Amino acid sequence: MFAANNPPILGERDKQAITSRLTSVKLPYTFVNNPSETDRFKKQRIPESNLEAKLLTDEALSGLLRLAVDGIQHFEMNDDVSVPETPMERLQRYERSADPIRQFGHECLKDQDSEYVVKAGIMIMYNTWAKSRGHELGPNTHQTLHDAVQGTAELNYATSRPDPADYADAYLLLQPCQSRYSSMIPRMTFQIT
């Protein structure tokens, strides 16, 4: 078990061994000084010494013990922890939460035989998407994005263009670079949460 504000990217490890053991628990609250009253996920930060005293009260400890006993009884009755997702679904959800590039691919890229977007266009879309969500852009973002998109199962990346590209009918590709990208950005829609 481990806890992290930014869960680590698993990379190319033995995913079979990981999937059967992985269950991520999202803790939605952030503790800050002077939280906005309109943001229900931001709570007032409590000094650690006060927090420890609050967590070690008889009431808090008995509540934790009740939760643990209920969990053990549920496990014994069902012989399982009864998570609603399959191990593969849990792995995919974890990878999307740990890796912004995978999340971008899942949320923003759809495979359509009639459509083609150049790699530079996807890079601009990713940069805009990542900045809107507060993700940092590293120095190798271009290659990392390329590798992640290539490894995304739901995108037909490898076979979508088996022949050399024919840009004759491609609207975006016949414009000068700057106007091509500026016409692309307004068509992107992201739901910023």
Tens digits of residue pLDDT in 139-175: 888 777 777 766 566 665 555 555 555 555 555 444 4
pLDDT, tens digit (0-9, with 9 covering 90-100), for 9-50: 777 667 777 887 888 888 888 889 999 999 999 999 999 889
Position 3 in a domain? no
Host H or E run for residue 34 = none
Backbone phi, psi, residue 30, to 5°? -120, 135
Classify residue 55: in a domain, yes or no. Answer: yes
Tally Cβ neighbours within 10 Å of residue 147: 13
Residues 126 and 104 sit within 8 Å (Cβ to Cβ): yes
Residue 123 confidence (pLDDT):
86
Residue 38 within a domain: yes
Q: Does 7 map to a domain?
A: no
Q: What angle do CA 32, 34, 37 make, to 5 degrees?
A: 105
> Is residue 28 in some structural domain?
yes
